[in-house]
């Protein structure tokens, strides 16, 4: 189904005609209180609804418009956000059979160390002063965090509101992420040292999170082909 909003955007299929749009407008007008008019600003070829206020729209030109924090969380690295957008696009284009290949492509780029560092790095904004962070750690009121540990190690006078970009480097043995964090500006593209296993695991977590939706899309496509 496609979304329609009062005095907002309207979404339709590529096959929608002016007559169908007018029929929809009149139908909505009958359901709305007197004095409220419906205006259609734009049509979209498809919609992906994740949960309330979190959805994606496929424009006529093939671009994806994502709305809602659950689908574009700042906590995700850029490669995860790009993967998620491509995954949703395939679902809206009714091409779920290509989802497995999409995942393979991303994993291969990570393992071959072909991902630009800006796709892997994360940027965090310091909320507390370094002294307050130390106090919280000493009082066991919070866990250690990569951005703060890097700020402390740098010797610079970082303040609340400052941002730190970092990535997770490979280490001889498995350690906590904050212990393996490295400033993004210290990354050497000629001697790449990102932790490929760490980022592949992050990709797998994202795939698992949306596994129910992708499985549903694949099942629906198979049922359609069987008809």
Q: Token pair for residue 124?
A: 């965090």
C-beta separation of 40 from 48 below 8 A: no
Alpha-carbon span 181 to 165, nearest angstrom: 10
Q: What is the 3-state secondary structure (H, E, C) of the chain?
A: CCCECCCECECCCCCCCHHHHHHHHHHHHHHCCCCCCCCECCCCCEEEEEECCEEEEECCCCCEEEECCCCCCCCCCHHHHHHHHHHHHHHHCCCHHHHHHHHHHHHHHHHCCCCCHHHHCEEEECCCCHHHHHHHHHCCCCCCCHHHHHHHHHCCCCCCCCEEEEEEECCCCCCCHHHHEEEHHHCCCCCCCECHHHHHHHHHHHHHHCHHHHHHHHHHHHHHHHC
Asked if residue 56 has pLDDT above 60, the reply is yes
pLDDT in tens, 140-154: 999 999 999 999 999
pTM of the model: 0.79
Q: Distance of alpha carbon 77 from its chain centroid, rounded?
A: 8
Q: What confidence score (pLDDT) does residue 8 get? A: 35
Task: Provide the sign of the torsion angle of the four alpha carbons 17, 18, 19, 20, taken in this order.
Answer: positive
pLDDT in tens, 141-188: 999 999 999 999 999 999 999 999 999 999 999 999 999 999 999 999
pLDDT in tens, 2-29: 333 333 333 334 445 777 778 887 888 8
Residue pointed to by tokens 């069987």: 226
Q: What confidence score (pLDDT) does residue 45 get? A: 86
> Which residues, in sequence order, are CB contacts of 67 under 8 Å at separation 6+?
53, 54, 55, 56, 57
């Amino acid at each position: 189904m496609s979304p329609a909003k009062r005095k907002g955007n309207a979404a339709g299929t590529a096959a929608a005609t002016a007559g169908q749009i007018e029929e929809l407008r009149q139908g909505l007008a009958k359901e709305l209180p007197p004095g409220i008019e419906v205006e259609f600003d734009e049509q979209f070829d498809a919609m992906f609804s994740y949960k309330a206020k979190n959805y994606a729209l496929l424009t006529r030109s093939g671009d994806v418009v994502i709305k809602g924090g659950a689908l574009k969380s700042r906590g995700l690295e850029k490669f995860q956000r790009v993967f998620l957008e491509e995954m949703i696009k395939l679902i809206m284009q009714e091409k779920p059979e290509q989802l497995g290949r999409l995942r393979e492509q991303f994993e291969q780029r990570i393992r071959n160390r072909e991902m630009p560092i800006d796709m892997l790095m994360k940027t965090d904004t310091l909320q507390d002063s370094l002294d307050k962070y130390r106090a919280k750690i000493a009082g066991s009121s919070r866990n250690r965090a990569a951005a703060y540990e890097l700020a402390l190690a740098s010797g610079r006078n970082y303040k609340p509101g400052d941002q730190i970009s970092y990535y997770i480097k490979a280490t001889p043995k498995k350690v906590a992420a904050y212990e393996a964090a490295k400033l993004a500006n210290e990354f050497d593209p000629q001697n790449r040292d990102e932790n490929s296993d760490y980022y592949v695991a992050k990709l797998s977590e994202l795939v698992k999170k949306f596994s129910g939706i992708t499985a549903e899309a694949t099942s629906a496509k198979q049922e359609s082909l069987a008809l």
